[in-house]
Amino acid sequence: MESTVATKKAKADSKVESASTRKVKLKKVLSYAAFVGPAILFFIVIQIIPFLMGIYYSFTSWNGISSSIEWVGFENYKRIFTNDQRFFDSFLFTTKFMFAAVLISNIIGFSFALILNTALKTRNLLRTAFFIPNVIGGLLLGFIWQFIFVRGFAAIGELTNISFFLKPWLGDATTAFWGIVIVFAWQISGYMMVIYIAALQGVDTSLLEAAKIDGANAFTMLRKIIIPLILPAFTICFFLTISMAFKIFDLNLSLTGGGPFNSTQSVAINIYQEAFTNNNYGIGSAKSILFFLIVAIFTTVQVMITKKKEVEA
C-alpha cells in the first residue's frame, strides 16, 4: 500500500517537474523569439525576398514600370556575355580598383595600428581622427574630395608649379582611377586600423620580450611573431575591404560619375544605369546576379587562402 502511494506521488512529482520544465523551455523560446525574431523577419523581408525576386526578374524582360512581365529565360545572360562590352569594361575597372584599394587600405590601416598600439600620449585622439572619415557618407565624402581635386589641387599647383597638383585628377582616366583609390583608402583605412589594433592588443607581450632578449629586431618580431599571431585579423580585413571595394558605388558616383568616357565606371554604377536609367530591369537584375556570384567567389577564395595560412602559422 505504501509503495503504491509512493509510486503515485513520484509520478505526480515527475508530471509537475516536466510541466515546469516545459514552462521554462517555453519562456526561453519566447525570449529568444522576442530578441531574434524581429531581426530575422527584417532580414527575410529586406534581404532574402528581394534577392529571390532579383533572381526571378533576371529571367524576364521587364522595364521596372509596366505590369506585364515577359519570361525570356537565359536571353539576358546571353546578351550580357555576347553584346555588352561596357559591363566587362566596368568589371575590369572594378577588379583593378579592388586589388589596388585592398592593398593600400590594409597597409595604411596596419601601419596606423602599429604606431597607435605604442604608448603614445595622443593615441586615443589620433585613433578618433583616423576613424572619423569612415563615418562620413560616401556621397558627401566624394563631393568634398571632388572639390579638393578640382579646386584645391589646382590652387596649390598654381602657387607651387608642382606637376603633381597640376594634373587633371578627375579628367583623365589614369589619375581618376588613382583618385578614387586614394579617397577609398582614406575613408576605410581607419576602420581597418581599429580591427588591427584589437588584434595587436591580444598579442602576448611576454613573447615579444623573450624575442628581444634573444636579439630579435623590430622587423623580425613583426614578421615572425606579430603577423602570424594576428592572421585572423588579416582574414577579416581582407574580406571586408574586398567586398567594399567591389561594391563601391556612392563614392564613385560622386567623384567621377563613371567618367571620363565611362573609364571609371564601377559594376555597381553600370547595373544602376542599366536598371534605372535605361529601364532594362531584367538585364540589370541578371548583371547583379552575376556580380553577386563573382564577389562570392573572390571572397570565398580569399577566406580559404588566409584561413589556410592561419593553420600553417
The sign of the dihedral angle between the CA atoms of 204, 205, 206, 211 is positive
Read off φ and ψ for residue 116, nearest 5 degrees: -85, -5
Q: What confidence score (pLDDT) does residue 19 get?
A: 60
Structural domain contains residue 65: no
List of the chain residues with pLDDT < 70: 1-20, 311-313
pLDDT of residue 185: 93
- Match 571586408 to its residue by C-alpha cell: 240
Q: Do 88 and 187 reside in the same domain of the chain?
A: yes
pTM for the whole structure? 0.85
Asked if the structure places residue 74 within a domain, the reply is no
Q: Are the C-beta atoms of 180 and 245 separated by less than 8 Å?
A: no
Domain count, the chain: 2
**120 shares a domain with 37:** no
Is the bond preceding 168 in cis, omega lying within 30 degrees of 0? no
Answer yes or no: do 129 and 233 share one domain: yes
- The confidence score (pLDDT) of residue 205 equals 83
Task: State residue 34's pLDDT score.
Answer: 83
Query: Which helix (H) or strand (E) element contains residue 186?
Result: helix 173-200
Cα 198 to Cα 229: distance, rounded to the nearest angstrom: 12
**Do 97 and 177 belong to one domain?**
yes
Q: What is the pLDDT of residues 50-108, one digit of tens each?
A: 999 999 999 999 887 888 888 998 999 999 999 889 999 999 999 999 999 999 999 99
Residues facing 60 on adjacent strands:
71
Q: Prior bond to 260 cis, omega within 30? A: yes
Q: Are 220 and 255 found together in one domain?
A: yes
Asked if 162 and 308 sit in the same domain, the reply is yes
The full DSSP string for 206-229 is: HHHHHHHHTT--HHHHIIIIIHHH
Does residue 13 share a domain with residue 118? no
Same domain, 142 and 221: yes
Say how far apart CA 102 and CA 115 lie, in whole Å. Answer: 20
The residue segments making up the domain with residue 24 are: 2-57
